[in-house]
Amino acid sequence: MSLMARTYLVETYGCQMNVHDSERIAGLLDEAGYLPVTPGEQADVVVFNTCAVRENADNKLYGNLSFLAPIKKKNPAMQIAVGGCLAQKDQSLILKKAPYVDVVFGTHNVGSLPVLLERARIEEEAQIEILEALEHFPSTLPARRFSAFSSWVSISVGCNNTCTFCIVPTLRGVEKDRQPADILNEIRALVAQGVIEVTLLGQNVNAYGVEFGNRGAFAELLKEVGKIAGLERVRFMSPHPRDFTDDVIEAMASTPNVMPHLHMPLQSGSDAILQSMRRSYRSDKYLGILERVRAAMPHAMITTDIIVGFPGETEEDFSATLDITSQAKFAAAYTYKYSIRPGTPAGAMPNQVPEDIVGERYTRLHEHQQKISLSVNQAAIGTTHRALVSEIEGRRDEIQARMTGKTEDFRIVHFDHKTDARPGDFVDVRITDASAHYLIGDPLAVVRTRGGDAHEARNAPSQTTLGIPKVRTNS
């Protein structure tokens, strides 16, 4: 089969940074002459963009590699590539476990993938290329955007924090900031193509500017992005409480198209555990940030990440986490069972919490947060929200006959599909009911947008077709 006819599939595990990297992987393969695989068919090239934050990502990768082994044996011309954080960490171990993999590439050399695939094909030998440091900012690479109207935009890569549970700084390197002019130029180009929503990405977005000596750079960037004509919604993730400053709150509150939603990882409500995690803040500082955010934006929604069962966590520590979730009134909390990551300080701690206790606490926290989320969402009944109909949830559900969008404050809302709304359009919805996970309402009016026009014109493949799952970060 000629190169021009070869097809590809990208499978992504992990955070939003990985999803955005996968857009760049897809863009590179497009540029090299590959084509996205038709749904239901076997791709000629399968690329796994991996995560190393939790153990289940390892298991998922090796399980999928095992699934492909007989297919690869039957068709040796098919190629398998493994990139991302797990590839950066494991390197040659991947080939020991799955010797039929053709290419292993790291987080710092995404741009080399087409060359490595071609070299592996010609030489009939696996290629490993892992760079230890970033050579240039990855946004200079082409990208296949998975949405015609909503885009990720990287403002920094890497992380300068030293959380004891996290291996990402080791794999992604120290923080490298992108110049504001480059960011603004990319967003203006996206808006010209029909994008109406952008999400600014970084491992720690509110540390942006440290590299070039401007502590107020992130707040300034939010305001400048907010001035771009035609850009309806601006979001960002994820900030670190240690670096969260009042100028960012002021920028959020004073910039109309910056959305009233803050996703800020808590990780634990126990000061002792936060200290052991090396999180550089305590619960009172965290709650103080939320208090100031809500004072400036009374209707803001707060979401978070929490780890259950960190080494040394006592029942008292866990109770402190339950208490802070009650005080914070999170709209949603993305909860994770702690898992040992080799190479991290926490992985070597002697006081690991037994798995059965971790599981029991995880269930308790989940049930506790469900009640809080339900209460927060029920408070929206009777109000009106403007939903951006998305490419995934915006499909018509033939059984329940509804469409879905995201509100300004990042909540999912379902509504009757009997409108002429398209993905990328806005729909004003009056909320009539709620669950812990979503709102339900009646559509009042459809607001046609350039985003809907762009989606309709492009008729882009969905994220599901491209193999990109919906994900959350665990910063």
The reported pLDDT for the residue numbered 439 is 97
The reported pLDDT for the residue numbered 167 is 79
The reported pLDDT for the residue numbered 135 is 57
- Asked if 301 and 331 count as a contact pair (C-beta separation under 8 A), the reply is yes
The reported pLDDT for the residue numbered 43 is 92
Sketch out the chain's domains with CATH numbers.
3-135 (3.40.50.12160), 384-451 (2.40.50.140)
Using alpha carbons only, give the angle 194, 198, 204 rounded to the nearest 5 degrees: 160
Question: In whole angstroms, what is the distance from residue 173 CA to residue 41 CA?
Answer: 37
Q: What is the DSSP string of 276-339?
A: HHT-S--HHHHHHHHHHHHHH-TT-EEEEEEEES-TT--HHHHHHHHHHHHHHT-SEEEEEE--
- Asked if 4 and 133 count as a contact pair (C-beta separation under 8 A), the reply is no
| Per-residue pLDDT tens over the stretch 60-92 | 888 999 999 999 999 999 999 998 888 888 877
Burial class (CB in 10 A: 0-12, 13-18, 19+), 267: buried
The reported pLDDT for the residue numbered 19 is 82
pLDDT, averaged per 10 consecutive residues of the chain (475 residues), comes to: 72 81 87 88 92 75 91 93 85 88 87 90 89 62 77 88 84 83 93 94 90 91 97 95 95 97 97 96 97 97 97 98 98 93 89 96 98 98 95 51 90 87 94 97 93 77 37 35
Count of other CB atoms within 10 angstroms of residue 379: 12
SS3 86: helix
Range list of β-strands (E), 225-286:
233-237, 261-263
SS3 168: helix
- 397-432 burial, b if ≥16 CB within 10 A, otherwise e? eeeeebbbbbbbbbbbbbbebeeebbbbbbbbbebe
Q: What are 155's strand-pairing partners?
A: none
Phi-psi region of 309 (alpha: psi -120 to 50; beta: other; left: phi over 0): left
pTM of the model: 0.81
- Dihedral (CA of 427, 428, 432, 434) sign: positive
In single-letter form, the type of residue at position 458 comes to R
Question: In whole angstroms, what is the distance from residue 244 CA to residue 388 CA?
Answer: 28
The reported pLDDT for the residue numbered 461 is 45
Question: In whole angstroms, what is the distance from residue 468 CA to residue 146 CA?
Answer: 9
* Token duo for residue 231: 């850009």
